[in-house]
Chain A
Amino acid sequence: MTAQQSLRIISETFNKSRKDILSNSAKYFMLWGALLTVVSLVIYLLWHLSGKPEWNFLWFAMPVIGYPIAALMGKYNKAMPQNEVSKMLGSVWAVFGAFAITLSVIAIFLVPMRVSLIIVIIMGLAECMSGVLLKNWPIIIGGFILGVGGAVFAMLVKSEAQLLIFTLGGVLLLVTGFIMKLQYK
Protein backbone atom coordinates (compact mmCIF):
# COMPACT_ATOMS: atom_id res chain seq x y z
CA MET A 1 0.00 0.00 0.00
CA THR A 2 1.48 3.37 -1.02
CA ALA A 3 1.37 6.55 1.08
CA GLN A 4 -1.22 8.01 -1.30
CA GLN A 5 -3.44 4.94 -0.96
CA SER A 6 -3.18 5.10 2.83
CA LEU A 7 -4.15 8.76 2.90
CA ARG A 8 -7.04 8.09 0.51
CA ILE A 9 -8.36 5.33 2.80
CA ILE A 10 -8.10 7.61 5.84
CA SER A 11 -9.81 10.56 4.18
CA GLU A 12 -12.54 8.54 2.42
CA THR A 13 -13.44 6.45 5.47
CA PHE A 14 -13.38 9.44 7.82
CA ASN A 15 -15.52 11.59 5.48
CA LYS A 16 -18.03 8.82 4.73
CA SER A 17 -18.54 8.20 8.44
CA ARG A 18 -18.91 11.95 9.10
CA LYS A 19 -21.47 12.31 6.31
CA ASP A 20 -23.51 9.34 7.52
CA ILE A 21 -23.60 10.65 11.10
CA LEU A 22 -24.66 14.18 10.11
CA SER A 23 -27.16 12.91 7.55
CA ASN A 24 -28.69 10.90 10.39
CA SER A 25 -28.88 14.07 12.54
CA ALA A 26 -30.85 15.74 9.71
CA LYS A 27 -33.78 13.41 10.42
CA TYR A 28 -34.23 14.94 13.88
CA PHE A 29 -34.35 18.48 12.44
CA MET A 30 -37.04 17.25 10.03
CA LEU A 31 -39.03 15.54 12.79
CA TRP A 32 -39.08 18.58 15.11
CA GLY A 33 -39.58 20.98 12.18
CA ALA A 34 -42.61 19.08 10.89
CA LEU A 35 -44.04 18.77 14.40
CA LEU A 36 -43.54 22.47 15.19
CA THR A 37 -45.11 23.53 11.89
CA VAL A 38 -48.19 21.34 12.39
CA VAL A 39 -48.69 22.04 16.13
CA SER A 40 -48.28 25.82 15.76
CA LEU A 41 -50.72 25.91 12.83
CA VAL A 42 -53.27 23.75 14.65
CA ILE A 43 -53.12 25.95 17.78
CA TYR A 44 -53.30 29.09 15.65
CA LEU A 45 -56.42 27.86 13.84
CA LEU A 46 -58.15 26.60 17.00
CA TRP A 47 -57.40 29.85 18.88
CA HIS A 48 -58.41 31.96 15.88
CA LEU A 49 -61.70 30.12 15.35
CA SER A 50 -62.71 29.74 19.02
CA GLY A 51 -61.13 32.89 20.46
CA LYS A 52 -59.80 30.80 23.36
CA PRO A 53 -56.09 31.09 24.20
CA GLU A 54 -56.40 27.92 26.31
CA TRP A 55 -55.56 25.98 23.15
CA ASN A 56 -51.95 26.93 23.95
CA PHE A 57 -51.90 23.94 26.29
CA LEU A 58 -51.59 21.88 23.11
CA TRP A 59 -47.92 22.97 23.00
CA PHE A 60 -47.26 20.23 25.53
CA ALA A 61 -48.29 17.76 22.82
CA MET A 62 -44.99 18.52 21.11
CA PRO A 63 -42.68 16.78 23.60
CA VAL A 64 -45.33 14.10 24.24
CA ILE A 65 -45.40 13.19 20.53
CA GLY A 66 -41.85 14.19 19.58
CA TYR A 67 -39.74 12.44 22.22
CA PRO A 68 -41.22 8.93 21.71
CA ILE A 69 -40.82 9.26 17.91
CA ALA A 70 -37.24 10.50 18.34
CA ALA A 71 -36.53 7.59 20.72
CA LEU A 72 -38.02 5.15 18.19
CA MET A 73 -35.87 6.63 15.41
CA GLY A 74 -32.81 6.18 17.62
CA LYS A 75 -33.76 2.59 18.32
CA TYR A 76 -33.91 1.72 14.62
CA ASN A 77 -30.54 3.41 14.16
CA LYS A 78 -28.87 2.17 17.30
CA ALA A 79 -25.56 1.38 15.56
CA MET A 80 -25.09 5.00 14.47
CA PRO A 81 -22.30 6.57 16.55
CA GLN A 82 -21.96 10.21 17.54
CA ASN A 83 -19.21 12.57 16.53
CA GLU A 84 -18.32 15.94 18.08
CA VAL A 85 -20.64 17.92 15.78
CA SER A 86 -23.68 15.64 16.18
CA LYS A 87 -23.18 15.64 19.96
CA MET A 88 -22.97 19.42 20.10
CA LEU A 89 -26.04 19.79 17.86
CA GLY A 90 -27.94 17.49 20.22
CA SER A 91 -26.77 19.50 23.24
CA VAL A 92 -27.71 22.88 21.72
CA TRP A 93 -31.26 21.72 20.99
CA ALA A 94 -31.63 19.87 24.29
CA VAL A 95 -30.72 23.11 26.11
CA PHE A 96 -33.20 25.01 23.93
CA GLY A 97 -35.90 22.45 24.77
CA ALA A 98 -35.18 22.70 28.50
CA PHE A 99 -35.39 26.51 28.40
CA ALA A 100 -38.54 26.53 26.24
CA ILE A 101 -40.47 24.01 28.35
CA THR A 102 -39.42 25.52 31.71
CA LEU A 103 -40.20 29.09 30.64
CA SER A 104 -43.58 28.02 29.22
CA VAL A 105 -44.52 26.32 32.50
CA ILE A 106 -43.39 29.37 34.52
CA ALA A 107 -45.29 31.74 32.19
CA ILE A 108 -48.50 29.69 32.44
CA PHE A 109 -48.51 28.90 36.15
CA LEU A 110 -46.26 31.40 37.98
CA VAL A 111 -45.09 34.60 36.33
CA PRO A 112 -46.84 35.86 33.19
CA MET A 113 -44.31 36.86 30.54
CA ARG A 114 -44.05 37.33 26.79
CA VAL A 115 -42.98 33.76 26.31
CA SER A 116 -43.30 33.85 22.49
CA LEU A 117 -40.77 36.66 22.34
CA ILE A 118 -38.27 34.84 24.56
CA ILE A 119 -38.66 31.46 22.89
CA VAL A 120 -38.30 32.80 19.37
CA ILE A 121 -35.06 34.56 20.35
CA ILE A 122 -33.52 31.43 21.91
CA MET A 123 -34.79 29.34 19.00
CA GLY A 124 -33.09 31.68 16.52
CA LEU A 125 -29.93 31.45 18.65
CA ALA A 126 -30.04 27.62 18.65
CA GLU A 127 -30.56 27.61 14.88
CA CYS A 128 -27.66 30.04 14.42
CA MET A 129 -25.41 27.85 16.60
CA SER A 130 -26.42 24.82 14.51
CA GLY A 131 -25.34 26.69 11.39
CA VAL A 132 -22.02 27.59 13.00
CA LEU A 133 -21.39 23.96 13.96
CA LEU A 134 -22.32 22.76 10.47
CA LYS A 135 -20.32 25.62 8.86
CA ASN A 136 -23.38 26.47 6.80
CA TRP A 137 -24.13 30.14 6.10
CA PRO A 138 -27.77 29.75 4.95
CA ILE A 139 -28.59 28.08 8.31
CA ILE A 140 -26.72 30.80 10.26
CA ILE A 141 -28.55 33.57 8.38
CA GLY A 142 -31.90 31.74 8.69
CA GLY A 143 -31.42 31.44 12.46
CA PHE A 144 -30.47 35.10 12.74
CA ILE A 145 -33.53 36.20 10.76
CA LEU A 146 -35.78 33.91 12.83
CA GLY A 147 -34.41 35.25 16.14
CA VAL A 148 -34.23 38.95 15.32
CA GLY A 149 -37.17 39.11 12.89
CA GLY A 150 -39.27 36.89 15.15
CA ALA A 151 -38.57 39.15 18.16
CA VAL A 152 -39.69 42.23 16.23
CA PHE A 153 -42.77 40.37 14.92
CA ALA A 154 -43.64 39.16 18.44
CA MET A 155 -43.56 42.76 19.69
CA LEU A 156 -45.68 44.08 16.82
CA VAL A 157 -48.47 41.51 16.66
CA LYS A 158 -50.86 40.36 19.34
CA SER A 159 -52.36 37.06 20.50
CA GLU A 160 -52.69 34.17 18.07
CA ALA A 161 -50.87 35.84 15.17
CA GLN A 162 -47.64 35.42 17.21
CA LEU A 163 -47.93 31.68 16.70
CA LEU A 164 -47.13 32.12 13.03
CA ILE A 165 -43.53 32.90 14.04
CA PHE A 166 -43.25 29.32 15.24
CA THR A 167 -44.74 28.02 12.00
CA LEU A 168 -41.92 29.87 10.27
CA GLY A 169 -39.46 28.40 12.79
CA GLY A 170 -40.78 24.90 12.03
CA VAL A 171 -40.36 25.44 8.31
CA LEU A 172 -36.82 26.69 8.95
CA LEU A 173 -35.98 23.50 10.90
CA LEU A 174 -37.40 21.42 8.05
CA VAL A 175 -35.30 23.35 5.53
CA THR A 176 -32.23 22.89 7.76
CA GLY A 177 -32.85 19.13 7.72
CA PHE A 178 -33.12 19.12 3.92
CA ILE A 179 -29.96 21.24 3.58
CA MET A 180 -28.09 18.78 5.83
CA LYS A 181 -29.39 15.82 3.81
CA LEU A 182 -28.13 17.45 0.62
CA GLN A 183 -24.85 18.63 2.17
CA TYR A 184 -23.99 15.20 3.56
CA LYS A 185 -25.46 13.04 0.79
Chain B
Amino acid sequence: MFPKLDPLLHSELRLAVMSILAGVDEADFTYLKKQTGATSGNLSVQIDKLTAAGYITVEKGFKGKMPRTTCKMTPAGQEAFSNYVDALKEYLSAGK
Protein backbone atom coordinates (compact mmCIF):
# COMPACT_ATOMS: atom_id res chain seq x y z
CA MET B 1 0.00 0.00 0.00
CA PHE B 2 1.45 3.33 -1.08
CA PRO B 3 1.42 6.26 1.33
CA LYS B 4 -0.98 9.02 0.31
CA LEU B 5 0.68 12.05 -1.24
CA ASP B 6 -0.13 15.28 0.57
CA PRO B 7 -2.60 16.99 -1.83
CA LEU B 8 -1.48 20.41 -0.62
CA LEU B 9 2.08 19.76 -1.74
CA HIS B 10 1.09 17.84 -4.86
CA SER B 11 0.77 20.99 -6.93
CA GLU B 12 3.52 22.36 -9.13
CA LEU B 13 3.72 25.90 -7.75
CA ARG B 14 3.19 25.03 -4.06
CA LEU B 15 5.82 22.30 -4.36
CA ALA B 16 8.27 24.74 -5.97
CA VAL B 17 7.68 27.28 -3.18
CA MET B 18 8.23 24.62 -0.51
CA SER B 19 11.38 23.36 -2.28
CA ILE B 20 12.87 26.86 -2.24
CA LEU B 21 11.92 27.45 1.39
CA ALA B 22 13.43 24.07 2.36
CA GLY B 23 16.90 25.36 1.45
CA VAL B 24 16.80 28.84 2.95
CA ASP B 25 16.02 30.50 6.27
CA GLU B 26 13.36 32.69 4.72
CA ALA B 27 12.59 34.11 1.31
CA ASP B 28 11.17 37.31 0.00
CA PHE B 29 7.95 37.26 -2.06
CA THR B 30 9.80 38.84 -5.02
CA TYR B 31 12.48 36.14 -4.84
CA LEU B 32 9.86 33.37 -4.82
CA LYS B 33 8.12 35.03 -7.77
CA LYS B 34 11.37 35.26 -9.74
CA GLN B 35 12.42 31.68 -8.97
CA THR B 36 9.05 30.11 -9.78
CA GLY B 37 8.13 32.36 -12.69
CA ALA B 38 4.59 32.62 -11.28
CA THR B 39 2.34 35.66 -11.43
CA SER B 40 1.91 37.70 -8.25
CA GLY B 41 -1.77 36.78 -8.01
CA ASN B 42 -1.29 33.05 -8.40
CA LEU B 43 1.68 33.02 -6.03
CA SER B 44 -0.31 34.93 -3.39
CA VAL B 45 -3.16 32.41 -3.59
CA GLN B 46 -0.82 29.43 -3.21
CA ILE B 47 1.09 31.08 -0.37
CA ASP B 48 -2.22 31.70 1.41
CA LYS B 49 -3.07 28.00 1.10
CA LEU B 50 0.31 26.94 2.51
CA THR B 51 -0.08 29.47 5.33
CA ALA B 52 -3.59 28.24 6.16
CA ALA B 53 -2.23 24.68 6.41
CA GLY B 54 0.46 25.88 8.83
CA TYR B 55 3.27 24.89 6.46
CA ILE B 56 4.70 28.37 6.15
CA THR B 57 4.49 31.69 7.97
CA VAL B 58 4.22 35.03 6.22
CA GLU B 59 5.56 38.21 7.71
CA LYS B 60 4.75 41.58 6.23
CA GLY B 61 7.00 44.49 7.03
CA PHE B 62 9.24 47.15 5.57
CA LYS B 63 12.86 47.20 4.50
CA GLY B 64 13.70 50.88 4.42
CA LYS B 65 10.66 52.46 2.83
CA MET B 66 9.78 49.47 0.66
CA PRO B 67 7.12 46.96 1.75
CA ARG B 68 8.44 43.45 2.15
CA THR B 69 6.70 40.09 2.46
CA THR B 70 8.82 37.29 3.86
CA CYS B 71 7.92 33.59 3.85
CA LYS B 72 9.40 30.98 6.13
CA MET B 73 8.80 27.23 6.43
CA THR B 74 7.43 26.07 9.78
CA PRO B 75 8.44 22.81 11.54
CA ALA B 76 5.06 21.36 10.43
CA GLY B 77 5.92 22.35 6.86
CA GLN B 78 9.35 20.72 7.14
CA GLU B 79 7.78 17.51 8.37
CA ALA B 80 5.11 17.52 5.63
CA PHE B 81 7.75 18.21 2.96
CA SER B 82 10.00 15.45 4.28
CA ASN B 83 7.06 12.98 4.38
CA TYR B 84 6.11 13.98 0.84
CA VAL B 85 9.65 13.31 -0.45
CA ASP B 86 9.72 9.95 1.38
CA ALA B 87 6.39 9.01 -0.19
CA LEU B 88 7.68 9.96 -3.64
CA LYS B 89 10.73 7.77 -3.12
CA GLU B 90 8.48 4.83 -2.25
CA TYR B 91 6.48 5.38 -5.43
CA LEU B 92 9.64 5.51 -7.50
CA SER B 93 11.32 2.50 -5.89
CA ALA B 94 8.13 0.45 -6.39
CA GLY B 95 8.15 1.39 -10.04
CA LYS B 96 11.67 0.03 -10.62
Contacts and interface: CB of A to CB of B under 8 A. Distances in A.
Interface stretch (B41-49, B53-61, B87-95): B87-95
Query: Helix, strand, loop or mixed for chain A's interface?
Result: helix
Instruction: Identify which of B11, B15, B24, B30 gathers the most chain A CB atoms within 10 Å of its CB.
Output: B24
Contacts of A98: none
A9 B12 contact: yes
What's the interface size class on B, roughly? 20 to 34
Contacts of A82: 24-25
A153 B34 CA distance: 48
Contacts of A18: 23
Nearest to A4: B92
Nearest to B29: A79
Interface in A84-122: 87
A1 B68 CA distance: 32
B85 interface: yes
Interface string A5-19: 011011101101110
Given A3-B95, A6-B15, A81 B24 contact: yes
Nearest to B70: A81
A82 to B, nearest CB: 6
Contact of B35 (A4, A16, A78, A87): A16
B33 to A, nearest CB: 9
Nearest to B85: A10
Nearest to B68: A78
B31 A81 contact: yes
A20 interface: yes
B23 A14 contact: yes
Interface residues of A, number: 22
Interface string B7-29: 00011100110011011111110
B54 to A, nearest CB: 20
A9 B88 contact: no
B24 A13 contact: no
A182 to B, nearest CB: 21
Nearest to A82: B25
Given A1-B12, A7-B92, A10-B15, A78 B24 contact: no
Interface of A: 1, 3-4, 6-7, 9-11, 13-14, 16-18, 20-21, 78-83, 87
22 contacts: A1-B10, A1-B12, A3-B91, A3-B95, A4-B92, A6-B10, A6-B88, A9-B19, A10-B15, A11-B19, A13-B20, A13-B35, A13-B36, A17-B20, A17-B23, A17-B24, A78-B63, A79-B31, A81-B26, A81-B28, A81-B31, A83-B24
